[in-house]
Structure formats: C-alpha cells, structure tokens
Structure 1
Amino acid sequence: MDNSNAEFGSKLKELRNKKGFTVRQLALQAGISNSYLSQVENGKRSIPKPATLEKIAKGMHVPKEDIFLMAGISNGNDAPEWATEKDFADLEKYLNDNTKKNFEGAVLDDEAIQATLGFLRGYFWQRVIQNDKASEMTQMNDKIKNDINTIINRYHTADPFAIADKLNIDVVYAPFKQEPKGMTFNYGDQPVIALSNEIKESNQRYFVVAHELGHAVEQADLSAYYTARDHWKRELEVEADKFAVALLSELYVEQHDEMPRNWFDLVHEYGFPIIGE
C-alpha cells in the first residue's frame, strides 16, 4: 500500500467525519460510488484525479484548494503530457498578460507572485484539458446528426428515457459496484440498457442513458463490442459520448427554450462528465 495514498485516505476520512457525512452520503453528494470512496479512504486506491477531488470537495462543502493541498497537489498546476509547444507559448503569454507585480498600489513580494503564478498555471491547464476533451466530444459526424434529427422528428422529444421507451428498449437499474455506470446488452434481438443503482437519484442518469442509447442506436450491429479490441472500444465510447452530447443539448433547448451557455450548464442539468476527469 502506497504511504501517500494511505495518508491522504486517512485525512479524507477524518475530514468527512468532522463534517458529519457518512461514506454513502458523501459519495451521493460527490457523484461517485460508495465502494470507490471507501477504497480511497482506506488507501487501497490511488489519490483521485483533480476533477474527482473537486467533486469530493463540493460534496463536503469545503474549498477545493483544501482537498488539493491534502492530496499534495497544487490546484492542477502540472502540464498534461500531450501539451504542445503552442500550448506552452500560449501559457507564457497568458502569464505575462495576467501576472501583476503590484495590487492596488502595494508591491507584491516573491512569495505572493509565485502563488499567483501557480494559480494561473493551474487554471490555464485545466481549461486546456477541458477545451480539448469538449472539442473531441462535440465533433459529430453526419450520421449521428441525421439519426438524432430523425429520432426527434419522429418522437417529438429529445428525452433519452422517453426515446428508449418509444424504441422498446428496456431501461433497468442494476446493483453494479464502482463500475460500470451503465451498459447495453441484448436480450434476444432487443437491446436493454442497464444503469447502476448508484445513479438512480442523480442527474448523471441522463448522460449515462443517453450514452448507452448511442450504443444501441449507432452500434446496433455490434453485439459484442464490449469484447472488441482496445482501440475499437475507444472509438465506440467516443461515438456514444458524441451521441449523448448532441441529444442532451437538444433536450436542454426543449426544456429551456435556449441553447446551453457552456459545458457546465450540461454538467449541472444532465450529469455530463466534468472535463479533465
């Protein structure tokens, strides 16, 4: 067992108890599974990624910086491995444009400047990661666009639960553990979508059912895609994500009579993944 994992888990458990949350309560608030949180607290899992740490912090109603500090990281300050020369050039310009040597007439000391730089770097890389993943998930091919338009025109809704019902696709809840959040399988010739009990009361169920509906609609001829090669799995999951993004964006318009302003509108409304996780 990694000592750093155990140390973080112990501190997290202590803070959770201090805030008066049970494991189940915090997991529900943070949108993660009970078993995963328990394993983290017991040092049996690695320290979560920054996006998951942020969800835990939000669930406990504490500043995310407190959880980051507990985890020994500085607000996502490190550059992703795939960062390009252009990314670093953009970072340099961004820092030069935003780092102040004084504030309201008071000259900042080196420690204050370094703290400012650390925060700005962390924010910069977080947005680079968000933009990269959001771009990947929102670039749809014509087939997905046409399929979604056909479905909405036929059934007069973009609600994935209503559409599944119209397509005679059963949506059931299953006692999955940490993963998966959902899966699609066939009963005879009919696809069935199973969602984890863990998300039954969470808005995340909308994104997961829309993602699985994407598998059922776009990959209906691939009955064994879960055993496909790794790169196929990646391609099929991305395709299902794109289907979910497009469908739920239309549902947002249907329910609010306006386009979502940004990705976080969809995170809040339908449990979209927090980009960077």
Structure 2
Amino acid sequence: MKVFGEVIKKARNVRGLTLRELAEKAGISHPYLSQLENSKNNNPSPQIVFNLSKILEIPLEEIMTVSDFTDEMIYELRTYNDFPKELIEENKRLNEALELYIQMENYFFRGIGKCYLNENLRVLRKSKDITLTDLADSLEVTQGFLSHVETGKRGMSNKMISVFSDFYGVSISELLFKDLREDERELRIQELERELASLKGLD
C-alpha cells in the first residue's frame, strides 16, 4: 500500500500540515500516521482512510484508484462511504466499549495483560511537549498529583481517566492497555534515521 502513504504525505506537505497537526485532525497518533506515510503499516481502517481523504480534500475515489488497496478494502471503503455516519459513530462507540470491557475483564479478573496507564500518561504528555505545570493548569489539578500518577505512586478515579482520555484524544482502552511507548520508540527511530540521512548529505 505504498502509494497510499505517498499520496497522504504529499497532500499533507502541500497543505503545510505537520504530522502532529494532521494526526490530531484525523484522531490518530502521529507515530501511527508516520507509519502509514512510510508504508510501515499496511492496514488502515476504512474510517481512517475516509477521515484523511476528507481532511486533505482528496476524493475517496482518487485514493482508491492510485492506491494498492485489495478488493476487500475497496469494498469496505465504498460501504463505509455510503453508510449513515451517525450509525458508524454509534457502532464505533459500542465496539470501543466492548473492547474495553473485554480487556478489563482479562486484566482484573483473569490476570491477563498489563495496564500501561502511568507510562502512557507520561508518553502522551511528552509527545505533545506539555509540561507538568501547563497540564496541571489545563486540568485544574496539582503538579504533585500528576507526578504521582505518571510514576504510579497513586491511582485515579474513573472520571479522571476519562478526562485524560478526552484531553489526549485517545480511547480509554488505548490509554489503559496499549503500550504507547512502542509508538514513541518508532518515532524516535525515524527521527534518528532522518538526522543520519541529513548528516550524510553534508559529506
């Protein structure tokens, strides 16, 4: 699906958007968007493709024509495009709730999996270049509370977890049970590769 990433990257650059800016508009993480643009992730959901085409003002048919999508993916995209968006959003919320329920049941009652809440809060804050002071002001909590939460020295209420989820634009399921440090490492590797390529160009 190499062409899809190239189309998205070119359209993003034409519109003067950074990876972070486009990712925030599309409701995805910037490391994930970077993977799409560099063809390191070949399985975007129909919703993500649709959102990117809308934000970048690229006709969906054009994306399907130039991209190396499978017939199944094209069918899903056309179905998604024709389906009432309010039902899609409702179904998305139901799927996220079901996924969260299963993960919580596995973690709390079966001892399966790991909770990454504390680590993810730190990763998300640093990825957005937000200081503890600024975050404390935005959420109207103390810096001490945030510091203790990020280091795992204290827990949080369900309401506060929901607040962090909304603030960072990630699902509660991702916030609790997805290791976002992997995204951080992938982005850092790509940054180092670009720096190395730049240094080689100076030789």
TM-score norm. by structure 2 comes to 0.42
Return the structure number with greater helix share: 2
- Which protein has greater RCO, CA pairs closer than 8 Å, 6+ apart? 2
Return the structure number with greater strand share: 1
TM-score norm. by structure 1 comes to 0.33
Flag the structure with larger Rg: 1
